Structure 1
Amino acid sequence: MMNFIVQIFYITLSSSRGAQVVICSFLVLFLLLFANSKFRKSIREVLPVKIKWMVSILLVLLVYFSFGTNYAKDFLATIPVSIDRKVEVIESNESDKTPLPEKEVILQHSSDNSEISAGRFTIWKAALKVIRPTLLFGYGETDFYGNSDAKFLKKVDLDTTDVNELKRAHGNMHNGFLQVLVSSGIIAFICIYAFYVLNIFSLLKTFFRSKVNYAFLGIVLIFILSIFIDEMVEAHVLFNKRDVISIVFWYYLGSISYLYLKKGELI
């Protein structure tokens, strides 16, 4: 529960649009799944009434702080400043103490170039143009992702705006599907996402056939689907090292695979 509270502050203070997409998708998927009588009954059996009320209140606060008025965000923004006021930097000479400067914490996105995608639409359009010459095999991770000089862009007929956007993104398409397509081509794209889709279908089949651990399977299903939705605006599952979302995705997918291998036992 404490972790959940910390996550509320973390997501709000980061003011991440990607996080907001995941929150919305998770809540919508949970409500859709909650319409299933077996899942609803399983949730009621697993969670005590007090815990359900606490989780519901925290979810409401999470949505409010993420999408609510500026007053809520302004209140949370005072927390780091209040902490800074209590902290002093002590130099080697104890008599020389300098308080940390107070800095205003702004949780709103900049109004400059303030289209809702934060530049993603421009990057996606440029990516669709740059993939055309190498649609079959892509550019390869070492040649594209994280490549700041982007020498290969000179070989593609792009206007100055597209080139600048791709250089600014350093190869990060902010879209997991486009990332795979540009980096590895359509063949790898089909193979990788066929693997994902087959796993999701297996999870769905197991979810509707299982007789126990129904709540666990439902939550895992929601997490995996939410991460797929997040991949539309970020690139977490592949090509990122030490990525928490990637770790969660592969951990849950591995947990499900482990359960599948327990032959002769009900999930």
Structure 2
Amino acid sequence: MSDNKQEKLSLKVEEARIRDERRNVIRIREEDMRKVGIKTGDLIMIEGGRTAVGIAFPGYPEDKNKGLVRIDSVLRENSHTKLNDPVSVWKIDRKSAKRVILQLVNLNIRTDPRLGTFIKRKLHLYPVSRGDKVFVSIGISKEIWFKVLEMEPDPAAIINHETDLIIKPKLKTPIDEEEIDLSNYFSDSISKRIKNVEKTSEKRKILKKYKSSERGELLWNIALNYLMLGVKDKKIEDFKKAQEIFKKSKHYYQERIAELELNLEKMKKLIKNPSFDKNLLDDFRVPN
């Protein structure tokens, strides 16, 4: 059956569980899956403000009769949806990607064949569609983000070892030269970390002439700096500062409002019941 003749489901967006975060999983109750011939592991498209692709998994028993689809923050961003939005979901044919062009969006990295080989290995069996944002983790709270510029075939396919994967460099922006490397944060000295926070604050002043989303992303990174300081130095005051800056970021970063609200809820719990385990940083999403 061709993609455009597939029957569609109309569902409401719900938050993914932590276990599914960043896995491109779309959870639908099994009864709804059977209605339109979707099986676990199938490729399915989800359409909100735009279409995105994910992998079908059965929903949870408690979601029965609720008409929900559970997707993570990445799929919500790719489909231009937020929690409680109505979406359409349908099955598509499972195809291997012959060619995919990815553009770096958050880091300046020299592009060479070794980078392409590394990224292809990390994205093995990962489904993508044109215009999607995809990421590769390279350490604690550090990720490389890409945008899918072109691909063959459309509308979606799976990257594998046979895919011709091309990496294009990040577009230049006014703040590229001052980017902070968060991956080395725990190996830096205390004084250097504080200087990084101060330097980031200076960048915020410079960015007054740039668009709101850039200011929001910058504030988000400042909050992460304070959060990391709090974990390292075991200071709740730094957690409170991070919470304050996350709140400020909401004013500029409306397109990421759902993730910021989630971060603020986590900050509230963290301040009430402090933990200084550095692994908790993985729960706070890095802007891309």
Scaled by the length of structure 1, what TM-score is found? Answer: 0.28
* Structure with more contact order per residue of length (Cα contacts < 8 Å, sep ≥ 6): 1
Higher helix share: 1
Structure label with greater radius of gyration: 1
Quick check: which one's strand share is greater? Answer: 2
TM-score by length of 2: 0.26
